[in-house]
Structure 1
Amino acid sequence: MNLHQFRFVREAVRQNYNLTEAAKALATSQPGVSKAIIELEDELGVDIFRRHGKRVRSLTEPGRAILISVEKILQEIDNIKRVGKEYTEQDQGKLVIAAVQAHIRYTLPPIVTEFKKKFPRVLLSILPGTPSQVAEMVESEQADLGLIAEAVTGHQELNLLPSLPWHYVALLPSHHPLTANERLTLAELANYPLIIYDTAGAGHTKLVQTFALQSLTPEILLRAIDADTIKTYVELGLGVGIMPNITLDTPLNGTLRALPLEHVFGNHLTHIVLKQGTYLRRYMNALIELLSPSLNRKEIEQTLHEGYAIDAP
């Protein structure tokens, strides 16, 4: 068996079992891919794929187990290449970050600015997505790391590292009756139309569930995708804004006021998403340290290779 066979198996699965597309992706011929896979199956004594005629349809049970090993082997091969490349190119390379929109807009600008000062020769790309899309991009290696505002489940090959803390605030017109109460309750908030961030963006499913636990069903006037929209609707007196404190990146004018809601919705953590076994290039580790100053390289590598998440502080 050889690495070419492993790559053909992995790419066949990635291309939804279309060997022609797999061959195109790997710049080779379809007959060559098919032959190599059959030779690997003959050597192993099991079928990796189920077939209908000459067409590959799906993985067999042993095929699924083989794919897991193939993925690990090829990832370690990539890591070996990265080690060599890092020692020859200490301060250059490519780094792809996937993140939810709130963090792209508010968290990353100062982090990226500082990072680019330290590593000006690193080509940095940022991809937007929902929390689940960010996780999928990291898992499929379209991105080196992800940044989300809540934990995700169902991705066994990923680990989460704790990053920057955040909490919700209530945004109100300065003359609003609720501004007389510095410690708002869920019941008080539920009396007014609410303007919140899009549920796909920053953990707001749990926000709505918190109301439901107290048998409250507030009117959700708008699920906005940015803080400026929330501010506009609040200024017009159309409702109470509930938003992460990180989105208040500029001082409020005299017409608006923000009240803390940690006592209602608790404190939250941003999470850095990494694939298990990822090799930490020097500049990648530097970015993680900017996002989570409390972590060191040893803790991060322990998480990646032992398969558990560091407990949030």
Structure 2
Amino acid sequence: MNLHQFRFVQEAVRRNLNLTETAKALFTSQPGISKAILELEEELGIDLFVRHGKRLRRVTEPGQEVLKAIDVILREVANMKRIGEEYSKQDAGTLSIAATHTQARYVLPEPVAQLRRRFPKVQVSLHQGSPDQVVQMLLDGTADIGLATESLSEPEDLVSLPCYEWQHVIVMRAEHPLAEVEKITLEQLANETLISYHPSFTGRKRIDAAFAQRRLKPNIALEAIDSDVIKTYVKSGLGVGIVAEMAVRDDPPGGELVSRPAGHLFGTNVTRVAFRRGAYLRGYVLTFAELLSDRLTRPLLLRALGGDGENYDL
């Protein structure tokens, strides 16, 4: 057996058992992949796949166990490559970051700039997506580090740590009647046309839960994944916005929009940083994590990555 066979099996499963797509992804031929998989099955003495003619239909039960072992083997091979790169190029490489729009737009610019000043030979690759997409990019190895408020603490194959806390704020045009109210209530918001995040982004579930608990039905006119988009529609007069506090932090006082804190309504959110469990992280990846939050010290990161069972919740 060899690594080529392992990669063929792994990629075939990723491509929903479509060997034509698998061959395209790996720049090889479909007959070559079929032959390699058959040879691996013969050597192992088991069928990895259930077939209908020449087509793969599903992974067998022993095939599922073999696939888990293949994932571990190929992950460790990737780690060995990273170790080699680490010691051959101590200060160069690519840092791949997966983050939601809010994190990429409002949180990451300064840490990225600081990292580039410390490691000018490190190239930064920034991938934006939904929380679930951030998780998948980490699991696939597309990203070294992920940052999001939702989803990162769920998969067992990720190591996730709290990074910082934040609250929602209510934004409205300066002439709006609520701009004169210091502590806005849920009942007042329920009477307004609202603009906020898509349900899977930036703490929206907390907003919905708060209204539901008071048996109020919010009038959400528009949902977006982008805080700037929400603020734009608020400026246009469509309604009152609910955004993350980071999105108004740099707004000038006396501007077109006024904001009011909403932590008393929707509680506190925790943004988490995550890594794929078992992945080898180069030094500048750990440095970047330290730049994200004072809480993320290198000893803490190494303990968590090493499987320490300590509770790291804020």
Whichever residue aligns with residue 279 of structure 2, its letter is T
Partner of residue 265, structure 1: 266
Structure 1 residues 200 and 272: alpha-carbon distance in aligned structure 2, compared to 1, 3 A threshold: same
- Show the counterpart of 1:190: 190
Partners of 2:152 and 2:274 within 8 A in 1: no
Which runs of at least 4 in structure 1 moved beyond 6 Å after TM superposition? Answer: none
C-alpha distance in structure 1 between counterparts of 2:214 and 2:227, whole Å = 27
Partner of residue 299, structure 1: 300
Q: Secondary structure of 2:290's match? A: helix
Gaps of 5+ in 1: none
Aligned position for 2:84: 84
**In structure 2, what is the equivalent of residue 119 of structure 1?**
119
The equivalences for 1:1-313 within 5 A come to: 1-152=1-152, 155-235=155-235, 237-248=237-248, 249-306=250-307, 310-313=311-314
Inter-partner Cα distance in structure 2 for 1:173 and 1:19: 56
Deviation track 1:91-113 (CA, whole Å, cap 9, x = no partner) reads 11112111111112111111211
CA positional deviation for 1:276: 0.9
For the Cα contact (< 8 Å) 2:206–2:267, is it kept in 1? no
Distance 1:266 1:115, change over 3 A: same
Whole-angstrom CA distance in 1 between matches of 2:41 and 2:232: 62
Letter in structure 2 aligned against 1:250: D
Report the secondary structure of 1:69's partner residue: helix
Residue 277 of structure 1: how far off its partner (Å): 0.8
C-alpha contact (below 8 Å) 2:132/2:151 kept by paired residues: no
Choose 153-162 or 12-21, whichever is displaced more. Answer: 153-162
**1:129-156, Cα deviation, whole Å (9 max, x unpaired):** 1111111111112222221122347633
Check 1:302–1:56 CA distance in 2 against 1; reply closer, same or farther (3 A cut).
farther
1:38 positional shift: 1.9
> 1:7–1:234: structure 2 CA closer, same or farther, 3 Å change rule?
closer
Task: Report the aligned-residue RMSD.
Answer: 2.3
Contact 1:151/1:160 (8 A) holds in 2: no
| Offset at residue 75 of structure 1 (A) | 0.4
Which of 83-92 and 163-172 deviates more? 163-172
Structure 1 counterpart SS, 2:184: coil
Task: Give structure 2 stretches of 5+ with no counterpart.
Answer: none
- The separation in 2 between residues aligned to 1:309 and 1:21, in whole angstroms, is 43
Please state whether the residue corresponding to 2:46 is helix, strand or coil: coil
> Which deviates further from its counterpart, 36-45 or 269-278?
36-45
Partner SS state of residue 150, structure 1:
coil
Residues 263 and 114 of structure 1: is their aligned pair in 2 closer, same or farther, counting only changes over 3 Å?
same
| Displacement after TM superposition at 1:235 (Å) | 4.1
Distance in 2 of aligned mates of 1:76 and 1:129:
27
Change (3 A) 1:13 1:231: closer
CA distance in 2: counterparts of 1:233 and 1:27, whole angstroms: 46
Decide whether aligned partners of structure 1 residues 302 and 52 sit closer, same or farther in structure 2, where only a CA change above 3 A counts.
farther
The total of aligned residue pairs comes to: 313
Equivalent AA in structure 1 for residue 2 of structure 2: N
Q: Distance in 2 between matches of 1:114 and 1:270?
A: 20
Q: Secondary structure at the match of 2:167?
A: strand
C-alpha distance in 1, partners of 2:277/2:294? 21
The TM-score with structure 2 as length reference comes to 0.90
Shift of 1:68: 1.1
Q: Aligned partners of 2:155, 2:175: CA distance in 1, in Å?
A: 46
Per the alignment, in what secondary structure is the counterpart of residue 199 of structure 2? coil
**Which deviates more from structure 2 when the two are superposed, residues 287-296 or residues 169-178?**
169-178
Q: Distance in 1 between matches of 2:232 and 2:20?
A: 52
Q: CA deviation at 1:173?
A: 3.4
CA contact (8 A) 1:163 1:271 kept: yes
Residue 35 to residue 232, structure 1, CA distance change in 2 (3 Å): closer
- Whether the 8 Å CA contact 1:198–1:225 is kept in 2: the answer is yes
Q: Contact 1:159/1:307 (CA < 8 Å) preserved in 2?
A: no
Deviation track 1:151-199 (CA, whole Å, cap 9, x = no partner) reads 3476332232211321101113344443444332222221211121333
Give 2:170's aligned amino acid. Answer: A
